[in-house]
Structure 1
Amino acid sequence: MSCVSAAWSQEQDFVRSFQRSFFTMRRMDCLPLAELEERLKNRKDSTLLQHILQQTVLHPLCHKYPPSVKYRRLFLAELIKKHEMTRTEPLDDLYDALGEVLRSEELEICHKNYFLLSGENIKLGENVAIISEGTTGLVTWEAALFFAEWAMENSEVFNCRSILELGSGTGLAGIIVCMTCAPKQYTFSDCHPSVLQQLRKNILNNGLLLNLDTWNPKDCEAELKNKNLSEENQRPKITVVGLEWSEVTQEQVAELQSDIIIATDVIYDPEVVLCLISALEKFLISNEKKERCSVVYLASTIRNPETYHRFKMELDGVGIGHQVITGPTSKVFPYNRATKIELLKIYNET
């Protein structure tokens, strides 16, 4: 590769880092702004800023699924600040974009877009407030990103399996599993009506079908060996259900019993821990027919070590086994890697 080609490739990667951070609404102090300032010192034109602008605020994806107005305003203000430190001509597109954002109304729902390595993007509508209508389920949390990276590295775990997700929230983890891991059936669940409504929209916005059995029920093992599966045959049957952990009935257990149960960032309050343990106990232990035994994969951001330790102790108390498993090695999504996140495999010991 020539020096010119190498330099161009590095610049493309640099712009891409801005794009991925912008579309996931990362904090301003997480953006490579210091590196941008250094790069601009050695430039005699505004092509780099123009390139960043085209791949973020002016990108077609931003027009259709935009980050919040507040975020776009802060982002453009930082670009303008860096541009004004240079001696290049004013970049009208920057100021025009800021003017358009300042005239925009902040809506209750904004969007985040997570890019896969394939170039595809996961589109998620989220509430601009961390807590809205008494729930945190209308935003995406880091453990979901952590779990999604692990799932893509271990897709064989989910191939041709039926999956139940507890506390699906905006649906990031489940949507990625459905799009990249070829499960047979996937059931999203949550307890809050507004979360369930937005969750359905997010599933449909990512080209997935709801309540349609499009899985080809032939021999799964034979299908998995066939590398030329049609997209239609790989599409799982997807359902969305309301599920209150403290009120799980035996009828629901029978109806929702799955090969795999997953949950992400659901351990944050002692009262919630007890409800979750009650639900897991019913799904893992109270299945009288023992037709199949579920295994649970649960990813948690450890914000309160005491609450997290209590969760493990409660599992031990009802005879549910658990072990920590190695997390993902690839870095697909932008999030704080210093955050302590743990992935548990949970199972019935009896």
Structure 2
Amino acid sequence: MAPEDHEGATSLLQSFERRFLAARALPSFPWQTVKHPVCVQHLPSVKYARCFLSKLIKKHEAVPTEPLDALYEALAEVLMAEESTQCHRSYLLPSGDSVTLSESTAIVSHGTTGLVTWDAALCLAEWAIKNPAVFTDRTVLELGSGAGLTGLAVCKACHPRAFIFSDCHGQVLEQLRGNVLLNGFSLEPDTPTDPGSPKVTVAELDWDEVTASQLSTFQADVVIAADVLYSGEVTLSLVRVLKLLSDCQRKNAPDVYVAYTVRSQDTGKLFITELDRAGIYWEEVPPHTSKLFPYEEHSVIVILKLVLSHHHSI
């Protein structure tokens, strides 16, 4: 999205807010919000649009004012539309650019959780955007990329030299490649990239099978992972990978950032226990307050910085 489009979106929002606070008649509102250029190009879920418009119409009908034809027309259009198994979510970046993801409309599809975006991925993306120097001109490896939100935000806002997305499930990798292409990055190794645009690859990486030598070929300066601690088994597999990274890059071990949502008192406890057992130093990154992206208000999200060496200094 071009900067002028971003300015337009900002003024549209302010116009909406001003009219709401002044209790202006609903027909005067800038309803073209739902015709935002990003929204027109990458449609959200039909079910979501239907619910949104139905709610809006109920609110509108609850006040004594003229019927708003535009709302009823929009709802009629949505009611006629067929629900797809894929929908889009778009996230606006401070630069005015946006990250758009094609996601599965099923929350857990094909036996994997990697086809949807989770809160810790949004939180880690926000932290990255506010700390671009961690990634600028460096090679970044993402473990368990899922739909690709965090990595795409890093690629667009932090100017890494190279970015390796990775996951192990075939369906997730297929969707991930699609999302990388959807956001304007090439996966062809010989395609010239724009100056400042990172070299992007998508790798199949099974945490239980990968070897130290395979990991060393990535030559990662930074390793990131978000919302990957959803079971004890997976947590142990992740620590295995971190130990391998520590062993194969003892001289220049990468900086590692792992973000997870605290869903129960046990979330993260096993991870921290296993990190201590492996001799991997960790510290909690101070939480950031301002939110760039909308996610669950009451989510408790932790970002840990790990040091993969035996020298416990940061």
> Residues 281-321 of structure 1, C-alpha deviation per residue, up to 9 Å, x if partnerless?
1112x21x645211210111111231411110011111111
**Would you tell me which structure has more helix in proportion to its own residues?**
1
Question: By how many angstroms is 1:39 displaced?
Answer: 4.8
Q: So what's the TM-score if we normalise by structure 1?
A: 0.80
Q: Is the 8 A contact 1:214 1:235 kept in 2?
A: no
State the match for 2:282 in structure 1: 322
Q: So what's the TM-score if we normalise by structure 2?
A: 0.89
1:334 to 273, 289, 294: 294
Question: By how many angstroms is 1:258 displaced?
Answer: 0.6
Q: Is the 8 A contact 1:213 1:236 kept in 2?
A: no
Is the counterpart of residue 54 in structure 1 residue 32 in structure 2? yes
Equivalent residue pairs, number: 301
State the match for 1:283 in structure 2: 245
Is the counterpart of residue 163 in structure 1 residue 140 in structure 2? yes
Question: By how many angstroms is 1:99 displaced?
Answer: 1.0
State the match for 2:24 in structure 1: 43
Aligned counterparts of 2:217 and 2:288: Cα–Cα separation in 1: 32
Q: Is the 8 A contact 1:69 1:101 kept in 2?
A: yes
The one-letter code matched in structure 2 to 1:55 is T
For residues 109 and 188 of structure 1, do their structure 2 counterparts lie closer, same or farther at Cα, with a shift above 3 Å needed?
Answer: same
State the match for 1:28 in structure 2: none
Q: Is the 8 A contact 1:158 1:182 kept in 2?
A: yes
Aligned counterparts of 1:44 and 1:146: Cα–Cα separation in 2: 37
State the match for 2:69 in structure 1: 92
Aligned counterparts of 2:202 and 2:112: Cα–Cα separation in 1: 18
| Segments of 4+ moved more than 4 angstroms | none
1:105 to 57, 70, 82: 82
> Residues 221-263 of structure 1, C-alpha deviation per residue, up to 9 Å, x if partnerless?
xxxxxxxxxx922111110011111111233122123111000
Aligned counterparts of 1:259 and 1:70: Cα–Cα separation in 2: 42
2:257 to 289, 297, 300: 297
Is the counterpart of residue 13 in structure 1 residue 21 in structure 2? no
The one-letter code matched in structure 2 to 1:264 is A
Is the counterpart of residue 178 in structure 1 residue 161 in structure 2? no
State the match for 1:243 in structure 2: 205
Aligned CA-pair RMSD: 2.2
State the match for 1:32 in structure 2: none
Aligned counterparts of 2:148 and 2:26: Cα–Cα separation in 1: 42
State the match for 1:272 in structure 2: 234
Gaps of 5+ in 1: 1-8, 17-34, 216-230
Question: By how many angstroms is 1:88 displaced?
Answer: 2.3
Aligned counterparts of 2:215 and 2:109: Cα–Cα separation in 1: 29
State the match for 2:187 in structure 1: 210
